[in-house]
Amino acid sequence: MDRQAINPESDWAKNFQFNQGEIIQGVKCMFYISGQISAESDPLVPQGVSVEFKDDQRKQMINALGKSIICLKERKCLAKI
């Protein structure tokens, strides 16, 4: 089994020790995400990140999935899935 972390090029989340997604390869190729929200870097808050579209779950999910697709394209992984 091969495990590859998928994160944005400018990854603010690396300080939190988690990945935005992962590709697991072996017999099959799989990309999974868990607990995604639409977030952005925010130096004005203690955690350094804030939630985009705080009161709109639908917009959060659309934006979070869009960012996941961007990460996969950056890593040239989209064709594999």
Range of the domain at 10: 2-80
Report the pLDDT averaged over residues 31-60: 83
Q: Which two tokens stand for residue 4?
A: 């590859």
Distance in angstroms (rounded) separating the CA atoms of residues 29 and 37: 24
* Whether the Cβ atoms of residue 52 and residue 63 lie closer than 8 Å to each other: yes
Among all chains, which residue has been given the structure tokens 């020790």? 17
Distance in angstroms (rounded) separating the CA atoms of residues 48 and 15: 10
What pLDDT does residue 33 have? 72
Asked whether the predicted pLDDT for residue 48 surpasses 70, the reply is: yes
Domain count within the chain: 1
pLDDT in tens, 18-44: 777 788 887 566 677 766 777 888 899
Report the pLDDT averaged over residues 1-6: 82
What pLDDT does residue 44 have? 92
pTM over 0.95: no
